[in-house]
Structure 1
Amino acid sequence: MTQTSGIKATSQIEKAVKTTAAEAEQVARSAADTARDAGLEEAEQTADALHRAADAFDAGSIQTAALSQLAQTVNDMADTLREKPLDALIDDVAVFARKNPAIVLGGAALAGFAAARFLKAPDVRPAQDDPWSGHLDAGADTGNLPEGS
């Protein structure tokens, strides 16, 4: 292989890598935008549910105050997600991770344990479509019921 063909091959490889990286970045950004939109919708629904729960209590109660504060916090979080560009959110997460590595590692460990527990859980489904099948008569000893029952 001559030096010219080696340079040409290297240039083609670099171009392919850059193209692939750009495509991967676009896919990741699209997935992040989709996740952000889903998170925003969930946060708005949660805030609405918290407001409705607060309305169920007396106006001056501590429950109303706590639920209203929690709803406002969720609304503020949703506003931040909505207003900040994706790059700024990623930077904020990176800064938080650098400042609080124990929290991030603890959260990652907790998520890992939860995922492992979920994946190890047995597949428990009723044999039929009826959600109560096997529950109503489980352990019942119908032979020993008193007369007239």
Structure 2
Amino acid sequence: MTRPDLTREATETAQDIAGEVHRLSEAAERTARAARDRAAEDVTEGVARAREAAGESVSEAADSAAARAEEAARAAEEAAADPQVPGIEAQALEALARLLEDMARNLRGSDVSTLSREATHLVQRHPVLTLAGAAAAGFAVARLARAGGSRSDEPGPPRA
């Protein structure tokens, strides 16, 4: 083979190699794009499943919190009805009971962002009532704890 023939053959081989590299590069690019798209779909599906699971957990927690709020509202109403509770405490307990009943209604069927927003707005709109409610709840719990600790039907000396 002559030098021009070798040069032409080397050029053709180089062009063939360049063409093959180009085809492989395009195939690799298509494969990478398909893998990226599939990964994005997997992530999207995973996020959707996680959101669904979180929503179910939040719904269960909200239902549980609603039940507790209803129990606390009943306890506040009972404490407010106690004749030994002074007027201002009774009024605070009644207000707390109404607030807890409203909270229980709102908790049922609300999503996380709505619950968070409403709790923030409640405290911002009614800071005094929130503090009074917390104080009244503390008094009610203390009263219930004291009432549960002593029994009038037990024998023993009368208590003063």
Instruction: Work out which structure has the larger RCO, using CA pairs closer than 8 Å and 6 or more positions apart in sequence.
Output: 2
Aligned partner (choices 31, 37, 58) of residue 5 of structure 1? 31
Query: What is the TM-score of this pair, normalised by structure 2?
Result: 0.52
Partner residue in 1 for 2:81: 55
Report the alpha carbon displacement of residue 85 of structure 1 after superposing the two structures with TM: 4.3
Between 74-83 and 27-36, the greater mean CA deviation after superposition: 74-83
Match of residue 24 from structure 1: 50
The total of aligned residue pairs comes to 96
How far 1:69 sits from its partner (Å)? 1.2
SS of the equivalent of 1:20 reads helix
1:1-149 equivalences in 2 (<5 Å): 2-57=28-83, 61-82=87-108, 84-90=110-116, 92=117, 96=120
* Unmatched tracts of structure 2, length 5 or more: 1-26, 125-160
Going from structure 1 to structure 2, the CA distance change for 1:89 and 1:8 (only over 3 Å counts) comes to same
Q: TM-score, length-normalised on structure 1? A: 0.55
Residue ranges of structure 1 left out of the alignment (5+ in a row): 101-149
- The worse-fitting range, judged by mean Cα deviation, of 60-69 and 45-54 is 60-69
2:70·2:100 contact (CA, 8 Å) conserved in 1?
yes
Residue of structure 2 equivalent to 1:127? none
Paired residue type of 1:79:
R
Instruction: Compute the RMSD of aligned alpha carbons.
Output: 2.8
Partner of 2:108: helix, strand, or coil? helix
Whichever of the two has the greater Rg, that structure is 2
Match of 2:140 in 1: none
Per the TM alignment, residue 87 of structure 1 is displaced from its structure 2 partner at its CA by 4.3
Residues 25-54 of structure 1 show CA distances to partners (whole Å, capped at 9, x for unaligned) of 011101100110000000000000111111
Q: Distance in 2 between matches of 1:20 and 1:48?
A: 42
Q: 1:36 to 1:52 in 2, by over 3 A?
A: same
More helix by share: 2
